[in-house]
Amino acid sequence: MSAPAAELLELRGVSMAFGGLSVVDRLDLDVRAGEIVSVIGPNGAGKTTLFNLVTGIYRPTAGKIRFEGQSIVGLEPHQITRRGIARTFQTLRLFLNMTVRENVMAAAYGHTKAGVFRAILRTPGQRREERAIRELAERRLAFFGERLMGYRWDQPAYSLSYANRRRLEIARATATNPRLLLLDEPAAGMNPVETHEITELIGKLRTEGGYTILVIEHDMHVVEGISDRVIALDHGVKIAEGSFDAVATDPRVVEAYLGTKAAERK
Amino acid sequence: MADEETRRERLEEGVPAASATAGPQIGVDEWVARSAERRGGRGGRLGVVEARLRTVPWWAWLTLFVAIVAALPVGFESGYVRRVAFDTVIFMLLALGLNVVVGWGGLLDLGYVAFYGVGAYTYAILSADRYDLHLPVFVSIPAAAVVGGLVGLLVGLPSRRLVGDYLAIVTLFFFQIFLTVSNNSDSIFGEDRAGGPNGILNVEPLSLFGRELPVSTEGIFNVAYLYVALAFFVVVFVALRLANASRTGRAWRSLREDPLAAELMGMPVNWLKLTAFAFGAAVAALTGTLVTALNGSVFPQTFEFPLLITVYTMVILGGAGSQAGVVIGAIGISVLLELLREPGDSRFLFYVLSVLALVGTLRFSRRLAIVLGGTLALGFVVHSLAGAIDGSWTAGAARDGGRLGEWATQWVVVPSSLASWVTPVSYIGLVAAVLTLTLLRGRLRLALLVPTLYLAAFVWENVMLAKPEPTRFVVLGAILIAVMVARPEGVLGEKRVEIV
Amino acid sequence: MDTFIQLTINGFTLGSVYALIALGYSLVYGILKLLNFAHGDVFMVGSFIGFGALQLLGGSTAPKVPTWLLLVLITLAAMAGCALLGVVIERFAYRPLRNAPRIAPLISALGVSFFLAYSMQLMFGSEQRDYDAFSLSGGALFFNGFDIGNVRVPLLRIVIVASAFALMIVLWLLVTRTRTGKAMRATSYDREAAAMMGIDVDRVIVFAFVLGSALAGAAGVMFALRAPTDVAIGFLAGLKGFTAAVIGGIGSIPGAMAGGLILGFAEAFTQGYISTRWSDLLVFVILIAFMLVRPQGLFGKPDIKKV
């Protein structure tokens, strides 16, 4: 990135242990506004745990997490989301029996106000807000071009294909009006064409949507295509950080992925 | 509402625009998305009618429905019909309230009936002679609903920290606490506060605009109560519908679908659980006021476990999540329970439903003829054999005769007195036979169906008709299990999917 | 002091019955994550099967076999009958809902509970059935025993507590020492993983139902030996057994035992020292408080959310 922007997300010495098992160990991590940062690492490296820590599902056993300069440790997940962090899930957690549009509209809950009694009385303010939510949802869905358009809006989410479910998850996350978007393996289970599309889409999310993005990804083509910076984790410890090329050739990263022998051969 | 508009627009446009191009490939998104069109749409005239009916907006259905119920007293003069209609509307209200918690919130509220009781008691305390408060109904009824909602919040509060099933347990505890308190309210710290098992008597009836509505005129149920209940129903139905279409309603349903995802999308899940809970409780409490006003009294025995199961069966049978569904479920179960009270009606219901069920599953086919013919033949054979062996075996009289009863005793073995082992053996045999039927396929199933039907008739005539009270609840339990296993979405509910 | 000892004995007996019921809840919950609301009614059916077996063997006034054998036989009959009932319930009411939304089997369980209770009422009426244990061997079970201070501990109580604990130890051994027991524990940690490791999950689940229901049957007989039974006892007994399981930490076997005893003592002491009328209320209020402070129970581990 050109201008050194402010730190949007800051992790200092964050550790997480379940019982005696340390999953994340004294992790320092920064994400600056406007960046796309990728987190890579073998399975069990603590990547998803990292997301769970940032979004408040887990409370770190030690360390500080700051978002826009304020500590978010100990906040409820929904409060963190309201501050501007939204995420998608590796295993897809859509509201399957709600329509596509409702999935996105539901996520606007955090930044809207009209209570249920106003809804029952149908006050003008509530109707205005409801229209605004609807428009917001449609704009977010329109972001994906043809993919999530038109008559699909009223289909239940379970009728979508796998790739479209991933897209809908991203649309839903953006409807919370976040500044930081956490994407958990957005290209998992996609075919090459779709993977290519998602790579472009992530770029577009930054340029057009203005989101800062932290992404977990296994597909190195995607990582290479999108990342300003790559962070490699192994056993909860940061083992490398830097440009894609630097990290991808780092012997410790190769070792983490392929084992010691392969690293030696290299 | 908005969804319906767009659906209508689409229908007016005719076929979805996308199909102008070549048909979608199998397995691709469009194909999946249009599965409903491939399966759902009926062909021919019936299909056209169905499509037309779908375009009728919900409020038109509601108006039509209310008009029919309102016209009932005109057609039927009898106080009995009016009273049953009133009770049914009460059940509809209860089902609507429970639907908020179970159908939308996806929470298991096992204390629901206690909130109904809280409303009933609150109204009684505010308007019974014994407490001498005599608040006007425009104060006491909303007050009862608010109290119900607040108690709902309070009960939900401990469950903030408890996930899933624990909420069900806390509500069950609350139910038990409510029962203990109300049953022992004749000695709270040694003082009689609310009559205990003797309840609170002499509660004022409703009075509207300064005029008291007597409960009955010349011994006939005052139809004004039916209209008041119906008005409550309309208000509650519309209010809940609007709530469901709003931001809060979406959040409730998100919570049902996936609480963790909802929380991470910025929805305060705990708070939403509490509100869903409180809303259900408020509706139940509101309903309680009506019943107390009509009965002029309130007793703890009204709010027991069977009532809870009854309301649950209504919601589940109709289709949790669908307002129209739970209303239909409430009507169906309410009428069913009423019919099961009288042996004559109960017998009629049994034979009609059995034949209808057979026609429904086998259609008009040769198999249907075989089964019906076989069952009839088996019956006459068994009947004459039994009569030949011992005359007393077929000498029993039909309970609450009628012509159908006389016919039935010519076919079903009804002994003049039952040996004590016959009841459990035949009943358990019937349950076993029905369960086995669900495991069999093809010819074997048909073959077993014949004796099972006859056994069912035997049990119905000899066991069930003799004891209407447990029979009603056995039937409810069976419906609950059968619906859950065979069609969890109920009659009108939308099919749900869950990826595990 | 005498009252205290008396109440302790009462609490112990009651507690061991609750513990047996709690174990059934715990076993099933541990594996299926299902609150088996019907369990209390299985317990009730157990007490009736015991009653039926007792009548077949001549009743308590003129038994055809020696008292000890009589007790063993009726308990075994109840255990076998309930085990069969448990298998049937699992097969027809829960198995079809294995992959349904979480709330579906719970509602089905409510239906089963209701169906069982009212089927029993339909068949046998709502009158109380008394085992009349007092008549067995001319009251030997009540007059014999040993003394603590001025209080006599009747033989019947000793038998109940001892056999309840014997059953629990058998269960403990089954779960910790046998192959099936290991499979059960594996399944309760992670059902899918267990299935992939070649464990027949269906069989394990059936086994859990067999064990749990058999214990409920035994508990039913023990309960009915000290007080008359009727078709309505299932609800409250089930609720208490479940509560005991929650206190101890649902899914944990020692937890269920501890929870049962705690509940038994709590009930006995509130009844003895405070009020019979309000004892249920106090017990439930204590419980809600307990669940707030330690929702995972005494022996349970806090849930780790999986994302």
| Residue C303 pLDDT exceeds 60 | no
Put simply, the answer to whether B267 touches A159 (Cβ < 8 Å) is no
Residues of chain B found within 8 Å of residue A100, distances taken between Cβ atoms: none
Put simply, the answer to whether C239 touches B435 (Cβ < 8 Å) is no
Summarize the confidence of residues A47-57 as an average pLDDT. 93
Q: State the Cα–Cα distance between residues B286 and B149, nearest whole angstrom.
A: 10
Residues of chain A found within 8 Å of residue C305, distances taken between Cβ atoms: 57-58
- The whole-number pLDDT of residue A8 equals 93
- The whole-number pLDDT of residue A67 equals 95
The type of residue at B98 is L
Complex ipTM: 0.91
In a domain, C130, yes or no: yes
Chain A CB within 8 Å of residue B276 CB: no
CB-closest option in A92, A110, A164 to B266: A110
- The whole-number pLDDT of residue B44 equals 64
- The whole-number pLDDT of residue B22 equals 44
Domain count, chain C: 1
Least confident stretch, B31-45, B343-357, C189-203: B31-45
Residues of chain C found within 8 Å of residue B496, distances taken between Cβ atoms: 101
- The whole-number pLDDT of residue C125 equals 92
Chains that touch A (3 or more CB pairs under 8 A): B, C
- The whole-number pLDDT of residue B410 equals 87
Chain A CB within 8 Å of residue C307 CB: yes
Residues of chain B found within 8 Å of residue C240, distances taken between Cβ atoms: none
Among A57, A120, A183, most B C-beta atoms within 10 A, so best to mutate, is A120
A114: three-class secondary structure by DSSP: coil
Domain limits at C177?
Answer: 19-232
Q: Are strands B211-212 and B207-208 parallel, antiparallel or unpaired?
A: antiparallel
**pLDDT band at C190; cut points 50, 70, 90:** confident
Residues of chain C found within 8 Å of residue A18, distances taken between Cβ atoms: 304
Residue C6 distance to chain B (closest CA, Å) = 26
Give C128-152 pLDDT, tens digit per residue. 999 988 888 777 788 888 888 888 8
Least confident stretch, A248-252, B360-364, B439-443, B495-499: B495-499
Residues of chain A found within 8 Å of residue B496, distances taken between Cβ atoms: 96-97
Residue B99 distance to chain C (closest CA, Å) = 13
In a domain, C59, yes or no: yes
**pLDDT band at A266; cut points 50, 70, 90:** very low
Report CA dihedral (C173, C175, C178, C181) to the nearest 10 degrees. Answer: 170
Reference C47, options C120, C119, C114; nearest CA is C120
Among C29, C55, C107, most B C-beta atoms within 10 A, so best to mutate, is C107
Residues of chain C found within 8 Å of residue B170, distances taken between Cβ atoms: 288, 291
Residue C9 distance to chain B (closest CA, Å) = 26
CA distances from B490 to B88, B395, B463, C38, C41 (A): 19, 42, 29, 22, 26
Residue A204 distance to chain C (closest CA, Å) = 27
Complete edge-to-edge strand list for the sheet that includes strand A212-216: A85-87, A180-184, A212-216, A36-40, A229-234, A237-242
Put simply, the answer to whether B474 touches C118 (Cβ < 8 Å) is yes
Q: By CA distance, what is C305's nearest residue in A?
A: A57
Q: By CA distance, what is C52's nearest residue in B?
A: B421
Residues of chain A found within 8 Å of residue C304, distances taken between Cβ atoms: 18
Residues of chain B found within 8 Å of residue A150, distances taken between Cβ atoms: 17-18
| Residue B408 pLDDT exceeds 60 | yes
Chain B CB within 8 Å of residue C124 CB: yes
What six digits make up the tokens of A223? 């990582």
Q: Return the bridge partners of B188, or none.
A: B191
CB-closest option in A93, A97, A122 to B242: A122
Q: Are A144 and A208 in contact (CB under 8 A)?
A: no
Summarize the confidence of residues B36-49 as an average pLDDT. 60
What six digits make up the tokens of C207? 């086994």
Q: By CA distance, what is A18's nearest residue in C?
A: C304
Residue B180 distance to chain A (closest CA, Å) = 34
CB-closest option in B18, B35, B251 to A151: B18
**pLDDT band at A52; cut points 50, 70, 90:** very high
In a domain, C193, yes or no: yes
Chain A CB within 8 Å of residue B242 CB: yes
Chain C CB within 8 Å of residue A89 CB: yes
- The whole-number pLDDT of residue B399 equals 74
In a domain, C238, yes or no: no
Q: By CA distance, what is C295's nearest residue in B?
A: B162
Q: State the Cα–Cα distance between residues B459 and B429, nearest whole angstrom.
A: 10
Reference B286, options B99, B137, B67; nearest CA is B137
Chains that touch C (3 or more CB pairs under 8 A): A, B
Chain C CB within 8 Å of residue A97 CB: no
Q: By CA distance, what is C124's nearest residue in B?
A: B424
Give B49-61 pLDDT, tens digit per residue. 777 877 888 899 9
- The whole-number pLDDT of residue B497 equals 64
Q: Are B491 and B325 in contact (CB under 8 A)?
A: yes
- The whole-number pLDDT of residue B234 equals 97
**Could you please report the per-residue DSSP string of B400-436?**
T-HHHHHHHHHHS---SS--TTHHHHHHHHHHHHHHH
Give B246-270 pLDDT, tens digit per residue. 999 999 999 989 989 999 999 999 8
CB-closest option in C99, C303, C307 to B500: C99
Put simply, the answer to whether B471 touches C106 (Cβ < 8 Å) is no
**pLDDT band at B23; cut points 50, 70, 90:** very low
Residue A177 distance to chain C (closest CA, Å) = 22
Residues of chain B found within 8 Å of residue C290, distances taken between Cβ atoms: none
- The whole-number pLDDT of residue B164 equals 60
Chains that touch B (3 or more CB pairs under 8 A): A, C
Residue A44 distance to chain B (closest CA, Å) = 21
User: Of residues B118 and B360, which shows the higher confidence score?
Assistant: B118
Q: Which residues of A63-81 are buried (b: 16+ CB within 10 A; e: fewer)?
A: bebbbbeeebeebebbebb
Chain A CB within 8 Å of residue B239 CB: yes
| Residue A59 pLDDT exceeds 50 | yes
Among C99, C296, C306, C307, most A C-beta atoms within 10 A, so best to mutate, is C307
Residues of chain B found within 8 Å of residue A78, distances taken between Cβ atoms: 263-269
Q: Are strands A36-40 and A62-67 parallel, antiparallel or unpaired?
A: unpaired
- The whole-number pLDDT of residue A15 equals 94
In a domain, C259, yes or no: no
Put simply, the answer to whether A18 touches C307 (Cβ < 8 Å) is no
- The whole-number pLDDT of residue B11 equals 44
**Residues A150, A156, A162, A168, CA torsion sign:** positive
Summarize the confidence of residues C102-115 as an average pLDDT. 92
Summarize the confidence of residues B119-135 as an average pLDDT. 89
Strands, DSSP E only, in C117-247? Answer: 145-148, 151-154
Q: State the angle between helix axes of C39-56 and C233-248 in degrees (0 to 180), rounded to the nearest 10.
A: 120
**pLDDT band at A98; cut points 50, 70, 90:** very high
Chain A CB within 8 Å of residue C102 CB: no
B383: three-class secondary structure by DSSP: helix
Instruction: Give me the residue spans of the domains in chain B.
Output: 2-39, 59-339, 344-466
Q: By CA distance, what is A96's nearest residue in C?
A: C101
Q: Are B68 and B205 in contact (CB under 8 A)?
A: no
- The whole-number pLDDT of residue A4 equals 47
A62: three-class secondary structure by DSSP: strand
Residue B435 distance to chain C (closest CA, Å) = 7
Residue C305 distance to chain A (closest CA, Å) = 8
The fold of the B59-339 domain, in CATH, is: ABC transporter involved in vitamin B12 uptake, BtuC (1.10.3470)
C 141-180: CB under 8 A from B: none
